Amino acid sequence: MARQAVIRKKFLGEMHVKGSWLRDFILGWQDGLVNVLGVVLGVAAASSEFRVVIIAAIAAAFAESISMAAVAYTSFKAEQESYLSEVNRERCEVETMPKREISEIRAIYRKLGFSGSLLERIVSHITSDKKRWVNVMMEQELKLQPQKESPILTAAIVGISAFIGSVIPVIPFLFLSVTDAIIPTLIISTIVLFFVGVYKAISTVGNPLRSGIEMALIGMMAAMAGYGVGSFFGVLV
C-alpha cells in the first residue's frame, strides 16, 4: 500500500507539471495566433500590399511573444512572492501565538473526522516540527502550495508558443495574394483553434466540443474586430 501511495503521488505530481506546461503552451499559442490573426486581417483589409502585411505580422509576432513571456514571468514571480509572504506570516504566528495555531491545527483535523487520543497524537506530531507545522497550515488552512515550476521556463514556454501560434495566420499570405488569403487565413486559424480547444479539454478537464467552440469563437471575434478596423481606416485613407 505504501508503494502504491508513492507511485500515485509521483504520477499525480507528473500530471500536475504536464498540465501546467500544457496550460502555459496553450495560453501563449492561443494568444499569439488570435492577436496576429486580428493584426494581419486588419492590415490586409486596409492595404493589399504583401510587404506591409508581412512586416505587420512579424512585428506583431515578436511584440506578442516578448510581452507574453514578460507577463508570464512577472505574474509567476508575483505568485511566488505572495506564497513566501504567507509562509513568513504563518511562521511568525507559530512563533508568537503557538496556542492559537495549535487550536487551528486541532480544528482542521477534527473537521476531517479525527477525535480523541488519535487527534491529539496527530496535533502533537505536526506541532513538534515547526517546518512541518507551517507547511500543514499553508496547505490545510490557506489551501496554498509552493510553485514547483521555474519562472524562466514558464516564460520561455509562453513566449515560444506565442511566436509559433503567430506564424499560423501568416501562412496563407505566403502562397496567395493578400486579398485571396483573407478567407483561408480565417478558416485555417478557426479550425486550428477549435482542435486546440478540443485537445485542451481532453488533456485536462472540460467538455471537448464546448472548449473547441469557445476557442474558435475567440479567434473569429478577434478576426472580425481586426478586419472591421482595417476596413474602416482603409476606406478613410
Query: Is the pLDDT assigned to residue 235 strictly greater than 60?
Result: no
Residues 125-172 pLDDT 10s: 888 888 888 888 888 777 777 767 777 888 888 888 889 888 888 999
> What is the sign of the dihedral through the CA atoms of 136, 139, 143 and 145?
positive
Task: Tell me what percent of the residues of the chain surpass a pLDDT of 70.
Answer: 83
d(Cα 122, Cα 128) in Å, to the nearest integer? Answer: 10
Q: Are 222 and 38 in contact (CB under 8 A)?
A: yes
CA 103, distance to chain mean position in Å, is 37
Cα 193 from chain centroid (whole Å): 16
126 domain-assigned: yes
Q: How confident is the model at residue 233 (pLDDT cuts 50, 70, 90)?
A: low
- pLDDT exceeds 50 at position 120: yes
Q: Per this entry, what is the length of the chain?
A: 237
- Tell me the DSSP string of 155-171: HHHHHHHHHHHHHGGGH
| Structural domain includes residue 6 | no
Cell numbers linked to 81? 512572492
Is 30 inside any structural domain?
Answer: yes
Give the mean model confidence (pLDDT) for residues 231-236.
51
For 109, the grid coordinates are 483535523
> Is residue 6's pLDDT more than 70?
no
Lowest-confidence region among 12-21, 88-97, 198-207, 220-229: 12-21
Q: Which three cell numbers stand for residue 100?
A: 492559537
From its phi and psi, is residue 143 left (phi > 0), alpha (psi between -120 and 50) or beta?
A: left
Query: 7 lies in a domain?
Result: no
- With respect to residue 67, please indicate whether it lies within any of the assigned structural domains: yes
Query: pLDDT band for position 99 (50/70/90)?
Result: confident
Domain region containing 134: 22-236
Q: What is the pLDDT confidence band of residue 177, given thresholds at 50, 70 and 90?
A: confident
pLDDT given at position 88: 86
In this structure, of 7-21, 175-189, 195-209, the range with the lowest mean pLDDT score is 7-21
Q: Using the predicted structure, report yes or no on whether residue 37 has a pLDDT greater than 80.
A: yes
| Contacts of the segment 6-14: beta carbons below 8 A, 24+ positions apart | 13/148
In a domain, 9, yes or no: no
In the chain, the number of structural domains is 1
pLDDT of 230 reads 61
Q: Tell me the C-alpha distance between 102 and 125, whole Å.
A: 11
Is 49 part of a structural domain of the chain?
yes
Q: Is residue 226 part of a domain?
A: yes
Q: Output 75 or 171, whichever has higher pLDDT.
A: 171
Average pLDDT over residues 79-108: 84
**Is the dihedral angle over the CA atoms 176, 177, 183, 187 positive or is it negative?**
positive
